């Protein structure tokens, strides 16, 4: 007998079941289909500007920085300012997300590079799929628009997120993902990112910038109500 059948058989023997019981199967089907929400903390149950404020507060508590602009056209200037303020080179890598490429980059002196990183980029910008206010978390999905490696390889990661796409809790984010990609279907990679990379492996001392970005700068665009 193969390993698969052996393992499933042993699980069933231990549980005292056969595996074809109607009720067990329907319990499992039902749970997968309905995906019941569990206990959702009150913390994220705020809307409008209060939700953006919570997102900002939580993100800053894990050493991300957060800026706010009123529309997309202001993003290039905000990034240029951020890089200048931190004495970082005026260069930026990005994927092919039209929300990013369509921005007025010509108004800045930033030199742009597109596509995946070879690991030597100092700065990159990505557009988030959304955010979760509960923990100040960015939700990134893979694809040519925003290659996953841009979330990880550059020293400084700048992330643009629409205020209207910041949800209160993880459960609402799953609802949105299911609506976008279909129930039971996921993009290749979904990254939940909560602050810059860190390690406490040496004497339990918290240090930023272990293998991923040393800095995460979030630019929240627009109003929570519009988008």
CA distance 150 to 155: 10
Query: By C-alpha distance, which of 141, 126, 132 is closest to 169?
Result: 132
Query: By C-alpha distance, which of 167, 188, 219 is closest to 46?
Result: 167
**Per-residue DSSP letter, 110:** P
Query: Of 78 and 165, which CB lies nearer to other proteins in the complex structure?
Result: 165
125 DSSP β-pair partners:
158
CA atoms within 13 A on the CB side of 218: 32
Q: Is 197 in the site for other proteins (CB under 8 A)?
A: yes
Q: Contacts with other proteins in 17-36 (CB under 8 A)?
A: 17, 19, 24-25, 27-28, 31-32, 35-36
Query: Of 156 and 191, which CB lies nearer to other proteins in the complex structure?
Result: 191
List 3, 22, 87, 226, residue binding other proteins (CB under 8 A): 3
List 12, 84, 86, 113, residue binding other proteins (CB under 8 A): 12
Candidates 47-55, 79-87, 122-130, 164-172; binding stretch for other proteins (CB under 8 A): 164-172
Q: Is 195 in the site for other proteins (CB under 8 A)?
A: yes
Q: Contacts with other proteins in 82-101 (CB under 8 A)?
A: 95
Contacting residues for 200 by C-beta, under 8 A, at least 6 apart: 206, 207
Dmax over Cα atoms in the chain, in whole Å? 69
Q: Is 106 in the site for other proteins (CB under 8 A)?
A: no
**Per-residue DSSP letter, 42:** G
List 45, 65, 122, 149, residue binding other proteins (CB under 8 A): 149
CB atoms within 10 A of CB 1: 7
CA distance 206 to 195: 13
Q: Contacts with other proteins in 53-82 (CB under 8 A)?
A: 58, 62
Contacting residues for 24 by C-beta, under 8 A, at least 6 apart: 17
List 46, 69, 112, 143, residue binding other proteins (CB under 8 A): 143
Candidates 46-54, 75-83, 129-137, 218-226; binding stretch for other proteins (CB under 8 A): 129-137
Q: Is 209 in the site for other proteins (CB under 8 A)?
A: yes
Question: How many residues of this chain interact with other proteins, rule: CB under 8 A?
Answer: 80
Q: Contacts with other proteins in 167-186 (CB under 8 A)?
A: 169-171, 174, 177, 184-186
């Amino acid at each position: 007998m193969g390993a698969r059948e052996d393992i499933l058989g042993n699980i069933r023997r231990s549980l005292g079941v056969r595996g074809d019981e109607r009720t067990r199967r329907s319990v499992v089907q039902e749970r997968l289909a309905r995906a019941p929400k569990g206990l959702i903390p009150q913390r994220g149950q705020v809307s409008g500007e209060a939700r953006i404020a919570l997102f900002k507060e939580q993100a800053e508590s894990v050493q991300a920085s957060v800026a706010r602009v009123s529309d997309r056209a202001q993003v290039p200037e905000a990034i240029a300012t951020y890089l200048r303020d931190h004495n970082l080179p005026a260069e930026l890598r990005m994927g092919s997300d039209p929300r990013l490429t369509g921005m007025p980059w010509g108004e800045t002196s930033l030199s742009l590079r597109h596509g995946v990183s070879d690991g030597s980029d100092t700065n990159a910008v990505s557009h988030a799929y959304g955010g979760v206010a509960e923990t100040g978390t960015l939700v990134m999905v893979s694809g040519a628009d925003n290659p996953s490696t841009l979330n990880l390889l550059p020293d400084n990661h700048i992330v643009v997120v629409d205020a209207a796409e910041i949800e209160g809790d993880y459960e609402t984010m799953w609802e949105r993902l299911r609506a976008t990609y279909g129930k039971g279907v996921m993009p290749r990679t979904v990254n939940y990112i909560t602050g810059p990379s860190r390690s406490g492996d040496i004497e339990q001392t918290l240090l930023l910038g272990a293998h991923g970005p040393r800095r995460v700068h979030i630019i929240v665009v627009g109003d929570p109500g519009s988008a």
